[in-house]
Amino acid sequence: MANQNLPQIQPDAAAWLGRAQVADAIPCDTCPVRDISICSVLPRQKRAEFASGSHGRRIAKGTVIADEGATMTQVSSVVDGVVKLIKSTSDGRQQIVGLAFPADLVGRPFAENSEFRVETATDVALCSFSRSGFERVLAENPDVEKFMLKAKLDEIDKARAWMLVLGRKSAEERVATLLLMLAEREAKSIRHEGRAPTDVTFELPLTRAEMGDYLGLTLETVSRQFSKLRDAGLISFEDHRDVRVPSIARLAHVAGD
């Protein structure tokens, strides 16, 4: 019960930002999510403000953007990487209650404090508004508000779908469900010419411990289920981080629902 993967030390973001290979921010016109993120409905001038001098600014893996219960003054769009939303009990158990992928928004308009810890799972690129600035944009641009409402309605559906995973699925089904979600995301992202592939290879954005925290399992159970799925031929590994899913359909079958 008093288990879990306690908060890790947070690296020095400033130092990280100085590292050569990540110094460059992503400009709007080559932004990978410019057509599907909130920017697609943002007036040109507001978009410039959103990116606020540092289009797609880089944040190191493991950086805590906001603590649970703490003030959060920014609303951001994820341009690249994965962000974790984490809730904890007083005795240190923690649960990842959401993941934000590119084009998703993190931050909470109309509320002073964050309901959960917001922490980068990978190196991340963000575009940010101040919360008040974002609220002003919402009030002045009906299209933006409608976009946000639709996005949040989708987010609720996804959160509720995950409640079925946490409440009723076996360890094997949970792990398969997560892999399926990542595999489908990957398949969709590479459906350039023609249809989406059924055989995909991708890098896991989370450690075993993080996957446990997302799935309501321990890291050992996650590891065991990976081995089981590997032995059953449903997945294979290059190394611990790179997975191949030869048949998304077969994986979906194991995932349950």
Interface with DNA by CB under 7 A: which residues? 1-3, 8-9, 170-172, 207-209, 216-224, 226-227, 237, 239-241
CB 63, min distance to its own copies, A: 21
Pick from 6, 36, 48, 164 the residue near its own copies by CB under 8 A.
Answer: 164
Q: What is the 3-state secondary structure (H, E, C) of 57-96?
A: EEECCCCEEECCCCECCEEEEEEECCEEEEEECCCCCEEE
> 168 or 240: whose CB is closer to its own copies?
168
Q: Which residues contact 239 (CB under 8 A, 6 or more apart)?
A: none
Instruction: Find the largest Cα–Cα distance for the chain.
Output: 56
Report yes or no: 96 and 20 within 8 Å, Cβ to Cβ: no
Using CB under 8 A as the binding rule, the residues of this chain from 69 to 88 that contact its own copies are 85, 87-88
CB 184, min distance to DNA, A: 21
The DSSP annotation for 125-155 comes to EEEEEEHHHHHHHHHH-HHHHHHHHHHHHHH
- Residue 68 CA to residue 53 CA, distance in Å, equals 28
Residue pointed to by tokens 């409440």? 167
> 3 or 73: whose CB is closer to DNA?
3
User: Does the protein bind its own copies through residue 160 (CB under 8 A)?
Assistant: yes
Here's the x/- map for its own copies, 171-210, by CB under 8 A: it reads as: ----------------------------------------
> 77 or 94: whose CB is closer to its own copies?
94
Decide the pairing of beta strands 124-130 and 57-59.
antiparallel
Order of strands across the sheet that contains 200-203: 200-203, 242-245, 236-237
Pick from 6, 36, 48, 149 the residue near its own copies by CB under 8 A.
Answer: 149
Here's the x/- map for its own copies, 8-47, by CB under 8 A: it reads as: ----------------------------------------
Residue pointed to by tokens 């809730």? 87
With CB under 5 to 8 Å by kind, the binding choice for 256 among its own copies, DNA, none is its own copies
User: Does the protein bind its own copies through residue 216 (CB under 8 A)?
Assistant: yes
- Residue 94 CA to residue 44 CA, distance in Å, equals 40
- Residue 76 CA to residue 210 CA, distance in Å, equals 22
> 31 or 229: whose CB is closer to DNA?
229
Q: How far is CA 190 from CA 73, 159, 184, 198, in A?
A: 35, 25, 10, 11
Q: How many chain residues touch its own copies (CB under 8 A)? A: 48
Of the ranges 16-24, 43-51, 150-158, 233-241, which one interacts with its own copies (CB under 8 A)? 150-158
Binding site for its own copies (CB under 8 A): 1, 4, 85, 87-91, 93-95, 97-98, 108-111, 115-116, 138-139, 142, 145-146, 148-150, 152-153, 155-157, 159-164, 166-170, 213, 215-216, 256-257
